[in-house]
A and B are shown apart, each in its own frame.
Chain A
């Protein structure tokens, strides 16, 4: 099923579309449709790289988590530059003890030595009662009024209110960056 959209484009953009359409011997509508598809579609090159990277980052954390919960003290994992950087940070923060190139595949795999003192499961959700972080009035008095209000909303019992407040604080932070 297709929808018909009517959009207004600035004169300058129209001229660019006309030129490109003539070069490719395609109607302007096809050029616009292709541009939209490339910008939001799932198969654009950059999103695929992001997807592939996410897959491998997830693989790194999943393997480490499962190894820790299984009582292993070392594990071999494949690395890419991004996950190698993450391994450096994991070591720096004490989540793993060390890592070194695999003897069998020194370029592509690392032996990761796990931290035996690292708990493999946090007390959350069904496992233990947890409390929302709280701030008293003194702690928020030096904040700007808008942020103080959001911080108050983040402490409300209603989940929807907290979700809305998270978005509001994130947007405010990004706007002021």
Chain B
């Protein structure tokens, strides 16, 4: 087994930090950002440099790779309570409903706790139709239900609370129901076993 000494390790991170900021080749900057996502989690300098690149690099792919690396570093930190994970997925729903103008391209590898998601996954919500958004949200909510330790009653209560506390979300859902989006809303919440009448009750409760 190869063993790097402390100086080797320090130099590796330091050189990568310079490469990702200054190398003239976007390919090299992309590859370096991905590498820092794997080895830079304990380096404040690496994280700081990735932030800078994610915000300021002129190349879309380099910024996307830096964001992927940052995600990888932060997602491996101690996990949040399960209810926060639920809220996280609700945020996805809200983003999709509240901000149809959001445009995001997933061109960089996304590394997660159980593997990698890699490939070209354009997500342009200004062009995606509602059915596609529904499918995506449904997948996320279905996934939530598959997590053994999340109790479905907790999930139901959390969604009810979210609707109560978030008038924007409530109005969006109310409008969706009024404007013929009944099937869409049904599809979104069916995976959690939430009946449409229950949901309608939460939406209309003031």
Q: Which residues of A pack against B, CB within 8 Å?
A: 39-40, 42-59, 61-62, 64-65, 68, 78-82, 85-86, 89-90, 93, 95, 104-105, 107-108, 118-122, 124-127, 129-133, 135, 140, 142-144, 146-147, 151, 154, 159, 162-163, 166-167, 169-170, 172-177
Our pick among B47, B71, B85, B146 for the contact of A89 (Cβ within 8 Å) is B47
Query: Taking chain A's interface residues, is the majority helix, strand, or loop, or is none over half, making it mixed?
Result: helix
CB-defined contacts of B56 to chain A, threshold 8 Å: 65, 119-122, 124
Our pick among B12, B55, B75, B140 for the contact of A147 (Cβ within 8 Å) is B12
Q: How far apart are B115's CB and chain A's nearest CB, in angstroms?
A: 6
Please, which residue of chain B has its CB at the minimum distance from the CB of A146? B2
Q: How far apart are B76's CB and chain A's nearest CB, in angstroms?
A: 10
Total CB contacts across the A-B interface at under 8 A: 232
B71 touches A53 (CB 8 A): yes
Residue of A82, A89, A144, A163 ringed by the most chain B CB atoms within 10 A: A82
Q: How far apart are A157's CB and chain B's nearest CB, in angstroms?
A: 10
Q: How far apart are B194's CB and chain A's nearest CB, in angstroms?
A: 19
Please, which residue of chain A has its CB at the minimum distance from the CB of B48? A93
CB-defined contacts of B29 to chain A, threshold 8 Å: 124
A175 touches B1 (CB 8 A): yes
In Å, the complex CA distance between A105 and B117 comes to 32
Check A154/B51 contact, CB under 8 A, given A122-B56, A143-B8.
no
Q: Which residues of B pack against A, CB within 8 Å?
A: 1-5, 7-9, 11-12, 15-16, 18-19, 21-29, 31-32, 35, 38-39, 47-48, 51-59, 63-64, 67-68, 70-71, 74-75, 77, 80, 84-85, 87-89, 91-92, 94-95, 102, 104, 106, 110-117, 123, 139-140, 143, 146-147, 162, 165-168
Please, which residue of chain A has its CB at the minimum distance from the CB of B24? A130
Q: How far apart are A154's CB and chain B's nearest CB, in angstroms?
A: 6
A39 touches B35 (CB 8 A): no
B1 touches A159 (CB 8 A): no
Query: Taking chain B's interface residues, is the majority helix, strand, or loop, or is none over half, making it mixed?
Result: helix
Check A126/B58 contact, CB under 8 A, given A52-B89, A132-B19, A159-B27.
yes
Check A174/B39 contact, CB under 8 A, given A61-B54, A125-B59.
yes
17 contacts between A and B (CB under 8 A): A44-B115, A52-B88, A54-B67, A57-B71, A65-B63, A82-B80, A82-B88, A86-B70, A93-B48, A105-B166, A108-B87, A122-B57, A151-B15, A154-B19, A162-B19, A174-B38, A174-B39
In Å, the complex CA distance between A173 and B3 comes to 8
